[in-house]
Every structure is written in structure tokens, then in C-alpha cells.
Structure 1
Amino acid sequence: MERPKPPLSVLIVEDEPLLAMDVEMMVEDAGHRVMAEAASLYDVEALDPAHSPDIAFVDMQLALDTTGLQVCSLIQKRWSNTIIIFVTANPKKIPDDFSGAHGVIPKPFSRHGFMTALHYLKESVCTPPPITALPGSFVPSEHLSARW
């Protein structure tokens, strides 16, 4: 697998428009590009499969009675190299196997916390191992059960 090079292509799956807009601004402020925003599984299904995101930030509870777990499954099938990060207020609802996702950014988060997590993820995705220490605003999947 060839590692992506910055700027990263980011998919935001969030049903709260203001939060999606905030995340989009932070991603762009960090020098990356948002390839798409989606509020539900159906919105993600409608995206062009030829355009693969490098990272997907996925909320757990989405519009139209869909879930982040469903979106995670679709992303893994469609874009197997995409790094999936759950963004949720209740990390305890994430299954022990993380459904293949790579980590979580717990809500609520600060701008600084999100930006620090995004910087760490960029280093992890593009040039592992990361130089930056693991930020408190990001919990990798292997650390979830120890933290909550």
C-alpha cells in the first residue's frame, strides 16, 4: 500500500450541520481538503466510489436512522485503505473490535484537541511512526477498552 501524501482527502460523516461545518473548517485550516460531507449512510452510498478518502471522520448516530457502524462497514468495502475515525459523545457504544475503525475522537472536543489529533493522524497515515506524542484528544482503537 502506498502511503498518501498531504494534503489528505477527508470525508466527514456528521448529521449535525454546525459540527460538520466546524470540522470542515478545521480540516481545511490544517491544509487538507474535504472531499465530501455526508449526514447518513445513504449520502455515503451516493458518493462516487472512484474518489477514495484518506481519512473519514464518522459520527456514531446519523440521520435517517443510520449509524456510524454501517458507514464504517461500507467504507471498508468500498475504500479499504481509508483510515476511519469515530467521532462520538459515547465511546462506550463502540464495539470491542472497533468494527475495523482506527480510533475515536470523543465529543465534545476543542479546536485545539481536534487539530492535534488531525496532526497526529496525518503523521500516522503519511509517515509512520508518528513523531508527535499521542494526544489526549485521540484514542487509538487498541487503547479504547483501557480508557473507558
Structure 2
Amino acid sequence: MSSEKPLRILIVEDEILIALELESLLQDLGHEVVGMAASSEEALSLGQKLRPDLAFVDVHLADGPTGVDVARSLSANHRVTVLFMTANAKRIPEDFAGAWGVIAKPYTERGVREALSYVMVGQLREPDEARTVTFVPFGAALRERSSQIS
């Protein structure tokens, strides 16, 4: 990924150790973590202020199962591409628009790297649609969509 423009990333995660680990991984992969939020209110404020390219959003935050609402707002109001992180993908509505996929917790470096590559290819190939794509589950369906982009 070093030859591509680094993504500016917002992490929305209420578990600080997970957030710090993800921050370190994203930086190691050559991206810039522009902010970290532990609550929905903080996430929305940082999304407006920082205008990240991408947000990793935990579905269930400490202030309630508000990750889906945060993602909707970031996507619709600030054109932020969203990747969900969750241990339970069933919490994400099937018809949710605005997210590129979901990364299962506990996540792996490979899973994060593949998700980032997928997002970056989508942003390069579909600049007007890259931030408002219908939810695609991470995994087989994600690989299927990726082959359609090529």
C-alpha cells in the first residue's frame, strides 16, 4: 500500500485496548489515524471536524447500540466510507447503506489489510459511489463484489 495515497482514518471503538491496537496496525500499514472516538457523540463531532476518508465503527458502543446510527450519519452527512467492526454481524441491518463491509472481532491483520485494499480500490474506481455503497458482508460477498470492480 505504500505506493498508494494513505487513508485518513477515524476509529470509533469504546474499548481502548482494541482502539490502540487497531491504530498501531493501521499506522504500520501506512495509513494516518486522524482520531479516535469512544462514544457516538464524540464520533459525530470528530467526523465533522476531521473529515476522514474512512471510519472503522464498532457496532455496539458503550453509550448503546449506536454504531449503526453513527455510520449512517458519517456516511450521509460527511461522505465517510465506513467499515463495521463487531463480534455479532446480525446487529447490522441487511438493508443498511453506507458501509463497505464488516470485520469480525477479534479481527486479524490480514482481514484489516484486505478490507483496506478493497476500500482503496473502490475509491479509485468509483469516486462518486465509493462512500455510499450498499452494505456488503465481509468475506465471500466482499470478494465477489471485488471481482466485479476489476
Paired-residue identity, %: 39
Q: Give the C-alpha shift of residue 92 in structure 1.
A: 1.3
Instruction: Please say if residues 100 and 119 of structure 2, whose CA atoms lie closer than 8 Å, have aligned partners that are also in contact.
Output: no
Instruction: Please say if residues 86 and 101 of structure 1, whose CA atoms lie closer than 8 Å, have aligned partners that are also in contact.
Output: yes
> 1:43–1:20: structure 2 CA closer, same or farther, 3 Å change rule?
same
Report the counterpart of residue 135 of structure 2 in structure 1.
141
1:14-33 per-residue CA deviation (whole Å, 9 max, x = no partner) reads: 01111101110111111110
- Secondary structure (helix, strand or coil) at the match of 1:64 reads coil
Matched, 1:9 2:3: no
Instruction: Please say if residues 53 and 81 of structure 2, whose CA atoms lie closer than 8 Å, have aligned partners that are also in contact.
Output: yes
Q: Give the C-alpha shift of residue 44 in structure 1.
A: 1.5
Matched, 1:128 2:122: no
1-structure distance, mates of 2:58, 2:136: 19
**Unmatched 5+ stretches in structure 1:** 130-139
> 1:96–1:83: structure 2 CA closer, same or farther, 3 Å change rule?
same
- Secondary structure (helix, strand or coil) at the match of 1:92 reads helix
Higher helix share: 2
1-structure distance, mates of 2:33, 2:78: 16
Question: TM-score if structure 2 supplies the norm length?
Answer: 0.75
2-structure distance, mates of 1:48, 1:99: 18
Letter in 2 for 1:128: R
Report the counterpart of residue 108 of structure 1 in structure 2.
106
Instruction: Please say if residues 72 and 99 of structure 1, whose CA atoms lie closer than 8 Å, have aligned partners that are also in contact.
Output: no
* CA-atom RMSD in angstroms: 2.3
Report the counterpart of residue 52 of structure 1 in structure 2.
51
Instruction: Please say if residues 85 and 104 of structure 2, whose CA atoms lie closer than 8 Å, have aligned partners that are also in contact.
Output: yes
Count residues in correspondence: 130
Letter in 2 for 1:28: Q
Letter in 2 for 1:22: E
1-structure distance, mates of 2:58, 2:68: 9
2-structure distance, mates of 1:103, 1:112: 15
1:76-97 per-residue CA deviation (whole Å, 9 max, x = no partner) reads: 24312x1111111111111011
Q: Give the C-alpha shift of residue 48 in structure 1.
A: 6.5
**Unmatched 5+ stretches in structure 2:** 127-133, 142-150
- Secondary structure (helix, strand or coil) at the match of 1:63 reads coil
> 1:143–1:59: structure 2 CA closer, same or farther, 3 Å change rule?
closer
Higher relative CO (CA 8 A, sep ≥ 6), structure 1 or 2?
1
Instruction: Please say if residues 85 and 101 of structure 1, whose CA atoms lie closer than 8 Å, have aligned partners that are also in contact.
Output: yes
